[in-house]
Copies of this chain bind each other. A is one copy, B any other.
Amino acid sequence: LTVPLRGQQLLVAFAGGADSLALLVLLCALRETLGLGLAAAHLDHALREESAEDARAAAAFCETLGIPFFCRREDVRKLAEEQGRGLEDAGRHARYAFLEQCRQDCGASWIVTAHHVGDLEEDILLRLVRGAAWPALGGMRAVLPERCVLRPLLMMEKRDLESLLERVGAVWREDASNESREWRRNRMRHDVLPLLHAENPSFSETARRLWRNAREDEVFWKERLEGVIEPCEDGLFLSRKALKALGRAGMLRAVAAAVKQMDCGQTRADILEAMLEAWEQSRFPRVFVFPGFLKAEMTGRGIRFYRSESR
């Protein structure tokens, strides 16, 4: 997927560490040539003592570069408790909600994040552990049109971003929580990934290749599912006829795509499998419940996806 950036307004997700600082520096360097409009947004998660200081440093940096800066402080620990989510999950939700609001406020066409190939490697492992199906197992996408998110550095090495910063003399703040084993992501980064890199020093390239493999299959399935998922009065519908034509592998992707279109994030692979089995054995009518109040009603006619807060 190629995204034309010339003349676009971009909102940079600016955490303040080396990665997002490098992204900001790179985009600033391209600003005139590409006629970019830039703004930056920073969500203070209020999880560490020094986070307010991080926010001030981010603001100062943007002022130096002449970039409009949005900032909000959110008590993520409280949010997590209120929403019954894990801390990482609550933080991610709060962050993307804030970024999306800023994007709309400043009229940007894209939110740009600084994820690099190290993040991709962690993401692939996290997905493997969580039980993602293919092609989701191949890791986060670089272009998410439906969420207006771009990850232009996803194929880059962190060390290249850091050496860029060193070359331009920029100083960045290390986030102490990057070291903490409290987070699963950090346990992958510090404990699992070094073992895989020891086995294969080109593991980054291997991760990139897996990612490209996943993107190819994503395109393939997307084209194949064209027109298969129909809108219905209160959600989406997969007809018996469409399901029959798709076969097992295709049905898996059709259901996953419908769940995603209903904005319920990643599908639980175990529910998908149970649905497939029920369908093949004609064990319906039956209702499957996904997180986020999404339901899938399976009958002889097909599968209807709808949202309902009732049990």
The distance in angstroms between the C-alpha atoms of A213 and B191, with both chains bound, is 28
* Protomer copies: 2
A269 to B213, Cβ gap below 8 A? yes
Q: What's the nearest-Cβ distance from chain B to residue A233, in Å? A: 32
Q: What's the nearest-Cβ distance from chain B to residue A135, in Å? A: 7
A286 at the interface (CB under 8 A from B): no
A192 to B196, Cβ gap below 8 A? yes
| A125 to chain B: closest residue by CB | B196
Given A200-B129, A217-B249, A273-B212 in contact, is the A187-B195 Cβ separation under 8 Å? yes
A128 to B131, Cβ gap below 8 A? no
A101 at the interface (CB under 8 A from B): no
| One of A31-39, A40-48, A202-210, A300-308 contacting the partner | A202-210
Q: A248-277: which residues lie under 8 A (CB-CB) from chain B?
A: 248-250, 252, 269-270, 273
- By size class, the interface of chain A is 35 or more
Chain B residues near A219 (CB, 8 Å)?
248-249
Chain B residues near A203 (CB, 8 Å)?
129
| A192 to chain B: closest residue by CB | B195
A173 at the interface (CB under 8 A from B): no
Q: What's the nearest-Cβ distance from chain B to residue A269, in Å? A: 5
B129 to A213, Cβ gap below 8 A? no
Q: Which of B184, B210, B214, B273 contacts A131 (CB 8 A)?
A: B210
Q: Which of B129, B199, B220, B269 contacts A196 (CB 8 A)?
A: B129
Q: A226-251: which residues lie under 8 A (CB-CB) from chain B?
A: 247-250
